[in-house]
Structure 1
Amino acid sequence: MSWGTIEFEPEVAAWLQALPDEQFGRVEFYIDLLADRGVALGEPHTRQLSGKLRELRFFLGPSGEAVRISYFVTSGWRIILLTVFRKHRQRERAEIQRAMRAMKRCIGAGHAAEGNDE
């Protein structure tokens, strides 16, 4: 039984659909792990970025490239996957800011139950 329900924002859904089957299966494993363990899933699989914003962390592709999916948890145990980015230290701050904007848009659009999840 899952801890929570996974919901996909358009960026993540489009990225997943474009993945080759082998890579999709690997990403699906980590998303399922997040759904099963929820907030109890810690490092090295997840990390807090800022406030309620977190990242799901894994490696993908033949070169083992570090990939991150930003997400936040709303009331009702909903886990909303927001953005996808390749891990690069020099771009990390910009990616966190982009994920924060996506989270605020998501909340503003009513995707977060009761709108009190800021």
Structure 2
Amino acid sequence: MAGPPALERYATALRRRFRVFVARDGMRGLALAEQLAWGADVLVVDLSSSRGAYFVNRFQQRAGHRVPVIAVSAEPSRYQEELAVRPQAVLVQPVDTDDLVREVGFFARLRRRPETER
């Protein structure tokens, strides 16, 4: 996940419009997701970390369905790893929080629409 200052900044911006649950690494994220019954509408994941792709793949398996992924990365050189998890959006750090809120809102609305409207 993003480093503490960036993580806090992203969480603060997102909390203005969404329920946000924060985990500082992939293993904590999986434990939190299990507590929440795998009910996320959107995942915002720092794929710069060595376990980011593992977290996304494991989450998708356990949830039993695809959840939109917004990848946040400070290392464009890891773009191939990011593509391996097929994110719906990639934001390069430093991320503008307005852009992050807009992306999360878009994918959350899309996810909540009935299948017949897609």
TM-score by length of 1: 0.31
Structure holding more helix per residue: 2
TM-score by length of 2: 0.31
Structure holding more strand per residue: 1
